[in-house]
Structure 1
Amino acid sequence: MNRIKKRHAHLRKWAKRSGVQCFRIYDRDIPELPFTVDLYDKYLHITEILRFNEMDDDEHDRWTNLMAYTAGRALGLPIEYIFVKYRRRQKKSEQYERISQEGTIHVVQEGGLQFEVNLSDYLDTGLFLDHRVTRQMVGDIALHARMLNLFSYTGSFSVYAAAGGAQSTLSIDLSNTYTAWAQRNLEQNGFFGETHQCVAMDVFQFLHKAQKDGRQFDLIVLDPPTFSNSKKMDRVLDIQRDHPELIRKALAILAKNGIILFSNNFKKFKLAEKDLASSCTIKEITNQTIPEDFQKKRPHRSYIIQHR
C-alpha cells in the first residue's frame, strides 16, 4: 500500500503538468505481487500476470480481491472503481478474446486529446499507456503528411497525427470492432470525413493493393502485435519472423523523404538489420519513447526507418 501511495504521489504532479489522466503506478515491483496497476482518471485497472502458485481457485480469488481492495484503499477509491484482469503467457495457438460484456466505457484525456477506453471487456483498455511519448512524437512530425497507421488498433496514433496537422490519415486494422473504435476516437476529437478514414482489412492485403495502386504515404506507423493467427487472415503473423517483409512492403509505399515509425513489444525481439541494410536506414529510438511511468521497464522497442 505504501509503495502505491508514494508512487502515485510522485507521478501525480508530473501527470497534471503533462495533461495526462492515465498512467502506471505499479509494475510488478515486488516479485511476490505480480500485478500492473494503471490509473485511468479516477478508475484503477489492475492486471495480474498469472504464474504458478499453490493456491486453489477460491484462495487465489480471495487473495486477488484483497490486493485490489488494498490498492484502491491506498488511493481512496471505492471497489466499484476498480477493474481486475488476468493475463497469462499467450501461446502461439491462442488469441486474446473478449472477456466481458459490461461495456464500462469512459473518455479520458491525454495531451489535450480525448480517447475512449473500455475498462471491463478486454484485457487491454484501448489505449496503450507505454506509447504516450511515441504518440506525441507522431503528432510532432505529422504536419502536412499523408499518414498511414498499420495495425491501428483504436487509432490513437491517427488522432495525434490529425491533431498535428496531417493532410490525411488512414487507419488499417483487421478488427471491425477496433476500426469502429478508431473512427469514434477521431470523431471525438473533431476529425471527420474522407480525410480521416478507418478501414477493416488485413494489413498484408492492404500493402499489396496499395503498392499495386501506386499509393504513397509520408508517415507510416507500423506497430504490429507480437503474434496473430486470426481466422480473417490468410497467414499467421509472427513479428520476429515477418518484420523484414512488413518493413519492405511499407518502404514500397513510403514517399521519398518519408518516415516509418516501427515499434513492437516482443521482449526478445531482434531487428534483422543485415537483411534490411541495403534498402533503408534504421535508427533505434526506444530510449526516447519510454515515458516517465515506464522507466523501470522497457515495454517496447521503437525505430525510425527511412529510404537510403
Structure 2
Amino acid sequence: SEGTLTAGGQMFLNRIRKNRKRLKGWLKQTQTQCYRLYDADMPEYSVAVDVYDGKLHLAEYQAPKHVDEEAAIARLEDAIHALCVEFNVAPSQISVKQRRRQRGQSQYEKHSSQGRKQVVREGKAKLLVNLQDYLDTGLFLDHRPMRARIAAEAKGKRFLNLFCYTGTASIHAALGGAKRTVSVDLSNTYTAWYRENLALNGLAEATNAIVRSDVSAWLGTTKERFDLILLDPPSFSNSKKTDQSFDVQRDQVSLVHAAMAVLEPSGVLYFSNNRRGFKLDDTLAETYEVRDISAQTLDPDFERNPKIHQAWTLRHRGS
C-alpha cells in the first residue's frame, strides 16, 4: 500500500502519476498501447519504465562507480514497490532488467529463456514482444513515429529495411501497401522473430523477403533498387558471425554511400541511430540532400529525452 512506501518511493510514485496524467490525452487520442512512462526523470531513480499493453517493463541503468551498490538496490526496490501501488500489480508481474553498460553484441544477450512472447498493437500492425528474455523487447518504442512515417509513405513502393531487427518497420511498410519489402539482418534470432511477425499479420514472404546477411556485404552484391530505405544500425557490433567490428561513428560514410547506391534517383533514405554524441559526417551533406528530422521523430513519451536517437532524410541531389 501507499502508506508503506519510503520517502523516496513516494517521490517516485508522484512522478509516475504526473507522467501518466501528462500522457493520458495523447495515449487516448492516438490509441498508443506501448509507451515509455518514465526515463530517469529523477537522477537517483535511474530506470526506464515502459508499458506494453498494460504490462510493465522496468530496465535499470547501470549506476556510476561512485554510487553505493546497496543504495542502488534499495532504490530499485522503491521503484518496484511504487509501480505495484500505482498499477495494483504484484512485483512478479513487472519484468525487471538490470542494464550493465555494454558494447557490441552483449547488449542483446539473453537474460532468461522463458520464450514467452505477447502480441501488442501499433497502428495497423500486430507485433510480438518478449518482456522477459532479452535486454531489448523486440520493439524499440522511440522509433514509433519513424514506423508511422514509413507506413504512410510505403504505398506502391519497394522498401528496404537494413539492420531490420524484428522487422517491425517492414510490417508497417507492408500493411501500408508497399509493393515489396526486403529486410536484412545478420541475427538468426531476429530474422526468425520477424518471420513470426509476418505470419501474425498474414503477410507473405514472397513479397516480404527476409535476408540473413551482413548488411555491408549484401549491399555490395544486390542488384535490386528501392524507393524507400530505413538504415538504423546499432551503435557498435562485434558479431561472432563476421570478423569485422562495426562502429556507427567510424563507419557511417561507407555504409550510407552503399545504401544510397541502391536507392532510386527519386527515393528517400531514412538514417537513424541511438549512439550518444553521434555526429553526422560533413561530407554526406556535400554529396546528398540531407535534412535533420530528429525533432519530428519523437512522440510525447520521449520528448523529455531528445538524445534517445537522431534521424535524417537523405536524397540524391537534383532528384
Task: Provide Cα deviations, 1:141-190, integer angstroms capped at 9, x if missing partner.
Answer: 11111111000000011011111110011110110110011121122122
Query: What TM-score do the two structures reach when normalised by structure 2?
Result: 0.90
C-alpha separation between the residues in 1 aligned to 2:186 and 2:100? Answer: 23
Q: How far off is 1:93 after superposition?
A: 8.6
The answer to whether residue 247 in structure 2 is matched with residue 246 in structure 1 is no
Q: Alignment partner of 2:113: what SS?
A: coil
C-alpha separation between the residues in 2 aligned to 1:55 and 1:224? Answer: 33
Q: How far off is 1:67 after superposition?
A: 1.9
- Alpha carbons of 1:76 and 1:130: their partners in 2 closer, same or farther (altered >3 Å)? same
Report which stretch shifted further, 1-10 or 285-294.
1-10
Per the alignment, residue 234 of structure 1 pairs with 243
After the TM superposition, which segments of 4 or more aligned residues of structure 1 sit over 3 Å from their partners? 59-63, 91-96
User: Where in structure 2 are the equivalents of 1:59-78 lying within 5 Å?
Assistant: 60-61=72-73, 63-78=75-90
Per the alignment, residue 24 of structure 1 pairs with 36
Q: How far off is 1:17 after superposition?
A: 1.9
| Counterpart residue type for residue 170 of structure 2 | S
Identity of aligned residues (%): 43
Report which stretch shifted further, 151-160 or 106-115.
106-115
Contact 2:108 2:136 in 1 (8 A): no
Q: How far off is 1:64 after superposition?
A: 2.2
Per the alignment, residue 291 of structure 1 pairs with 299
Unaligned segments of structure 2, at least 5 residues? 1-12
C-alpha separation between the residues in 2 aligned to 1:285 and 1:245? Answer: 21
| Aligned pairs, number | 302
- Alpha carbons of 1:95 and 1:47: their partners in 2 closer, same or farther (altered >3 Å)? closer
Contact 2:147 2:169 in 1 (8 A): yes
Which of 303, 306, 311 is equivalent to 1:302? 311
C-alpha separation between the residues in 2 aligned to 1:224 and 1:93? Answer: 13
Q: How far off is 1:63 after superposition?
A: 4.3
Per the alignment, residue 145 of structure 1 pairs with 157
Report which stretch shifted further, 7-16 or 17-26.
7-16
Per the alignment, residue 271 of structure 2 pairs with 262
User: Where in structure 2 are the equivalents of 1:75-224 lying within 5 Å?
Assistant: 75-91=87-103, 94-210=106-222, 214-224=223-233
Report which stretch shifted further, 251-260 or 92-101.
92-101
C-alpha separation between the residues in 1 aligned to 2:132 and 2:113? Answer: 8
Task: Provide Cα deviations, 1:13-46, integer angstroms capped at 9, x if missing partner.
Answer: 3212212111111110111110110011121100
Query: What TM-score do the two structures reach when normalised by structure 1?
Result: 0.94
Cα-Cα RMSD: 1.6
Per the alignment, residue 42 of structure 1 pairs with 54
Contact 1:174 1:202 in 2 (8 A): yes
| Counterpart residue type for residue 258 of structure 1 | G
C-alpha separation between the residues in 2 aligned to 1:16 and 1:189? Answer: 24
Task: Provide Cα deviations, 1:189-240, integer angstroms capped at 9, x if missing partner.
Answer: 2211310111211101111111xxx321111100000000001123111000
Task: Provide Cα deviations, 1:35-68, integer angstroms capped at 9, x if missing partner.
Answer: 1100111211001101132234xx7545423421
C-alpha separation between the residues in 2 aligned to 1:91 and 1:251? Answer: 27
Normalized per residue, which structure has more helix? Answer: 2
- Alpha carbons of 1:194 and 1:226: their partners in 2 closer, same or farther (altered >3 Å)? same
Q: Alignment partner of 2:57: what SS?
A: strand
C-alpha separation between the residues in 1 aligned to 2:276 and 2:72? Answer: 28
Contact 1:180 1:198 in 2 (8 A): no
Report which stretch shifted further, 60-69 or 240-249.
60-69
